[in-house]
Chains A and B, each alone.
Chain A
Amino acid sequence: MSDEQAHDELGERLKEFAGRPAAVAGRGKDPVNAPMIRHWCEALGDTNPAYTGPDAVAPPTMLQAWTMGGLTGHQGRTGAYDELLGLLDASGCTSVVATDCEQEYLRPLRPGDEVVFDTVIEEVSARKTTRLGTGYFVTTRTEVRVDGEPVGIHRFRILKYAPAPRGPRTPRPRPVVNRDNAGFWQGVAEHRLLIQRCTACGTLRHPWLPGCNACGGPDWDTVEASGEGTVHSYVVMHHPPFPAFTAPEEGAAGPYAVGLIELAEGVRMVSNVVGVPYDKVRIGLPVRLVFRRYDEDLTLPVFEAVDR
């Protein structure tokens, strides 16, 4: 069975968990109480007087805290939730991170309130690749009650994922060199950016092609680019992250700018814009050709922002 088939099969099994209870009549380990409220307020620097004194209410955002299992684990959790997490663990998705939290507060909680809660698995996503790794989003919805009366609703989403390997830096993909563009790459090897020129009509062209777009002529020679240019257009790649395309000084897999550079000679080429933060790249930005060495076997023409 291929990896993809295995993932699809797991995905189908995971989807079946939607609608199943994750906790039934779970009980908060402690009643709502002043010491835990005080610790929370101290930790978060919350000096709201509503949370102290004889008429104190609990900070509403503590809703989930009253349902937490702590070091001794959750009570009232069903087999379904453990089974779901177990399947994910077994598939390599051993790490967990919370991504979303939506809480609705129906009435304030006060010291002495004894919290009871039911949790349902609302959704398990398809397999997703994120910056952290590949995994599945699991959404649960918890209803919190006191004396049978609903006091709050809490929707929570986690990502269960297999951490992305943090091995050696991913190398850039190699250029595909063929008969039609070999001259271009030969030029790059000599740190010369060569533009093709039709010998019949004189039209410049880039990228390299076997024939002239203007007259169809098959014969050509080359002109060396001066290296001056401007950003004609650009995109910033945020997601998915490609560590290979990010300059080391910009972090492991941060966003990067891809420019369509208009060379002084009039042709345009796609390349990285370097030496300027990705969010400072603008249309019209003057740039100059530099040859950047990415690894032992790869040097590429890229464009550096210049003051002009």
Chain B
Amino acid sequence: MRAGEPLPPLEIPVTRTLIVAGAIASRDYQDVHHDAELARQKGAPDIFMNILTTNGLVGRYVTDHFGPAAVLRKVAIRLGTPNHPGDTMVLTGSVEEVDGDTAVVRVVGANKTGTHVTGTVTVTLPAGEAAR
């Protein structure tokens, strides 16, 4: 693990099921995340992914790459354009800095309309794996 090292991209098909299941699994019952009609009344073209799901997917992207022994320390994200049903979000990332067993990974998730999420994830690896 060294600074500049890219993570392989991860494609997330943004289905209606993912949006609704993610919202409910995070106990977020805001109607814009499950009710298309009410979402449209509020100015959105359709339901859209809630921030907790995006946050979870960003965390998953990093632990998928570094393995089950990796421990998330911080996840900080900012949302841009929404994730709607039918979108594909492509997560990309790279190791921004390494300090001993801890790395900061910069993550970007983009869909066809632009950048859905940007953020940084701080992750700690067990000593043996960090040295790889």
Q: How far is the CA of A163 from the CA of B45 in the complex (A)?
A: 13
A255: nearest chain-B partner, CB-CB: B114
Q: How far is the CA of A102 from the CA of B58 in the complex (A)?
A: 12
Q: Cβ of B109: which chain A residues have Cβ within 8 Å of it? A: none
Contact with B along A272-283 (1 / 0, CB 8 A): 000000000000
Report yes or no: B56 in contact with A62, Cβ–Cβ below 8 A: yes
A1: Cβ under 8 A from any B Cβ: no
Interface of A is mostly: mixed
Restricting to B38-77, which residues have a CB under 8 Å from any CB of A?
A: 42-43, 50-53, 55-60, 63-64, 68-69, 71-77
Q: Cβ of B24: which chain A residues have Cβ within 8 Å of it? A: 39, 43
Q: How far is the CA of A104 from the CA of B57 in the complex (A)?
A: 16
A133: Cβ under 8 A from any B Cβ: yes
Interface-facing stretch out of A77-85, A93-101, A120-128, A212-220: A93-101
- Given A60-B75, A103-B74, A132-B43, the answer on whether A96 and B30 have CB atoms closer than 8 Å is yes
Contact partner, B58, options A40, A61, A96, A132, Cβ 8 Å: A61
The smallest beta-carbon distance between B45 and chain A, in angstroms, is 9
Q: Cβ of B51: which chain A residues have Cβ within 8 Å of it? A: 98-99, 101
Contact partner, B27, options A48, A49, A68, A98, Cβ 8 Å: A68
- Given A43-B18, A101-B55, the answer on whether A95 and B74 have CB atoms closer than 8 Å is no
Report yes or no: B29 in contact with A60, Cβ–Cβ below 8 A: no
Restricting to A130-146, which residues have a CB under 8 Å from any CB of B?
A: 132-133
Report yes or no: A95 in contact with B52, Cβ–Cβ below 8 A: no
A166: Cβ under 8 A from any B Cβ: yes
Interface of B is mostly: mixed
A54: Cβ under 8 A from any B Cβ: no
B25: Cβ under 8 A from any A Cβ: yes
Report yes or no: B74 in contact with A50, Cβ–Cβ below 8 A: no
Contact with B along A44-81 (1 / 0, CB 8 A): 11101110000000011110110011110000000000
A236: Cβ under 8 A from any B Cβ: no
Report yes or no: A102 in contact with B56, Cβ–Cβ below 8 A: no
Q: Cβ of A29: which chain B residues have Cβ within 8 Å of it? A: 27
Q: Cβ of B63: which chain A residues have Cβ within 8 Å of it? A: 46, 48, 50
A105: Cβ under 8 A from any B Cβ: yes
Restricting to A151-208, which residues have a CB under 8 Å from any CB of B?
A: 163-164, 166
Report yes or no: B26 in contact with A71, Cβ–Cβ below 8 A: no
Q: How far is the CA of A20 from the CA of B68 in the complex (A)?
A: 39
Report yes or no: A46 in contact with B74, Cβ–Cβ below 8 A: no
- Given A61-B59, A70-B27, the answer on whether A102 and B76 have CB atoms closer than 8 Å is yes
- Given A133-B43, A164-B43, the answer on whether A36 and B56 have CB atoms closer than 8 Å is no
- Given A46-B56, A68-B26, A100-B78, the answer on whether A95 and B21 have CB atoms closer than 8 Å is no
Report yes or no: A40 in contact with B26, Cβ–Cβ below 8 A: yes
A240: Cβ under 8 A from any B Cβ: no
The smallest beta-carbon distance between A72 and chain B, in angstroms, is 10
> Can you give 15 A-B contacts (C-beta < 8 A)?
A39-B25, A42-B21, A43-B25, A44-B22, A44-B56, A59-B56, A61-B59, A65-B27, A65-B52, A68-B27, A100-B78, A103-B55, A103-B76, A104-B74, A166-B43
Q: Which residues of B contact A (CB under 8 A)?
A: 12, 18, 21-22, 24-30, 32, 42-43, 50-53, 55-60, 63-64, 68-69, 71-79, 113
If A44-B56, A70-B27 are given as contacts, then 4 extra A-B residue pairs at C-beta distance below 8 Å, sorted by A number, are A40-B25, A46-B63, A60-B72, A68-B27
Q: Which residues of A contact B (CB under 8 A)?
A: 29, 36, 39-40, 42-46, 48-50, 59-62, 64-65, 68-71, 95-105, 108, 132-133, 163-164, 166, 251
| 5 shortest interchain CB distances as A-B pairs | A68-B27, A43-B21, A163-B43, A61-B59, A98-B51
